[in-house]
A = this chain, B = another copy of it.
C-alpha cells in the first residue's frame, strides 16, 4: 500500500527518481548528511507527504540503515530546524545596549542565519504545526517576532527610529525581508553572504531612521 501510494504520487506530475542519486552515492553518511538529505526531501514534497523511504532514497541508504542514524522523521525535522539557532534573543548583545543596538544585533543575526541555513529556513516557513516538533519551532518563531516588535517599540520610544509606522508592522516588514533571503539565496551563487547581509542592514536601518524632515 505504501509502495502503491509512492508510485501514484510520482505519476502525478513529478519526474520519477529511480535508484540512488549519483551525487550522494559515495558520500559517507553521518547524522548530518542524513539531515541534509531530509531537508531536501521535506522541501521538495512537504514534511507531511515525505516518508522515511524518500529520505532513504535521497541518501542512497537502505531504510534500515537510515534508522541506525535517526529514530524517525520527527527527529530529522527537529535536527533540521535546530540548525537555524533562533535563540538569538538570549545572546548578550540582544539583551544589552540601546534598543537600536539590540535591534541591529538581532536583525543582523537573523540575516546571517537565513544565509547560512536557507533550506532549513525554507522548511521552517512551510511547516504547518501538526506535530510537536513543528509547533515548538513555530512557537520559537512567533517569540522572535514578538521580541523584535518589542525592540521596535522601545526604539521608537527612545526616538531612535521613525515613529510614523506601527512597531508590529515594522517588525513584520523587516523580518519579511530577512526571511525572504531563503527564497532566492544560493550558497556559492551570485552574491557573497557578507554583501547580502550588509546590503539588507543598510536598507533596513536607513529605511527606519527617524524622519528629519
| Chain A window 126-159, contacts with chain B (Cβ cutoff 8 Å), 1 for yes, 0 for no | 1010110000000000000000000000000000
- In the complex, whether A82 has a CB less than 8 A from a CB of chain B is no
Q: B207–A203 contact, CB under 8 A?
A: yes
In the bound complex, residues from chain B placing their C-beta under 8 Å from that of A9 are: 5, 9, 48-49
Shortest distance between the CB of A148 and any CB in chain B (Å): 13
Distance between Cα atoms of A55 and B45 in the complex (Å): 19
Cβ-defined partner of A8 (8 Å) among B1, B47, B207 = B1
- In the complex, whether A125 has a CB less than 8 A from a CB of chain B is yes
Distance between Cα atoms of A77 and B181 in the complex (Å): 26
- In the complex, whether A168 has a CB less than 8 A from a CB of chain B is yes
Q: B179–A200 contact, CB under 8 A?
A: no
Distance between Cα atoms of A180 and B183 in the complex (Å): 10
- In the complex, whether A22 has a CB less than 8 A from a CB of chain B is no
- In the complex, whether A12 has a CB less than 8 A from a CB of chain B is yes
In the bound complex, residues from chain B placing their C-beta under 8 Å from that of A181 are: 173, 176
Distance between Cα atoms of A174 and B207 in the complex (Å): 11
Q: A12–B45 contact, CB under 8 A?
A: no
Distance between Cα atoms of A193 and B28 in the complex (Å): 51
Q: A208: nearest residue on chain B (CB-CB)? A: B203
Add 10 more A-B contacts to A162-B202, A173-B180, A204-B207 (CB < 8 A).
A12-B49, A14-B48, A45-B46, A46-B49, A49-B49, A168-B190, A172-B184, A173-B177, A177-B177, A203-B207
Interface residues of A (CB under 8 A from B): 1-2, 4-5, 8-9, 12-15, 44-49, 51, 125-126, 128, 130-131, 162, 164-166, 168-170, 172-177, 179-181, 183-184, 190-191, 195-196, 199-200, 202-209, 211
